[in-house]
Amino acid sequence: MSDDPPAVAEHDPVAAGPFAPGEGELLTTLVTLVEAECGRGDASTPPLGETVDWDALDGLLDDETRAMNIASVTFSYRGLLVRVTGTGRIELYEQVDSPTTDSTPPDLTCEDVSNGR
């Protein structure tokens, strides 16, 4: 059984691409994929760094040694569910409507494969 959110577990990604953990290309690849799917944001589009803690994401997944222990990190951005894996893959999924009406952005979720280490 998968712990992935419903959009990930039940659907194919609308866009996907590789990045090499430890090579400094995570941000560039992620922004390129989002812009290809959604177009360039306008002044009302919040920058990625205001939606997700970029330093934390980069620290987890753009370091090859740390990335080996992370199955995936999932967050919402610009109407997409973004899943970044420790093996070097970024996947974008259509955002599934939440059953709540809370407008608070969803928490960043991280699946650790280090077995408690």
pLDDT of the chain along its 117 residues, tens only?
A: 345 665 565 789 999 999 988 888 888 899 899 989 988 877 788 888 888 888 888 888 877 888 888 889 999 998 899 999 989 999 999 987 644 434 444 444 545 544 444
pLDDT of residue 93: 95
Instruction: Check: CB of residue 73 under 8 Å from CB of residue 57.
Output: yes
Task: Name every residue whose Cβ is closer than 8 Å to that of residue 55 and which is 6 or more positions away in sequence.
Answer: none
pLDDT of residue 51: 85
Instruction: Check: CB of residue 58 under 8 Å from CB of residue 26.
Output: yes
Calpha distance 93→11 (Å, rounded)? 8
Calpha distance 111→102 (Å, rounded)? 24
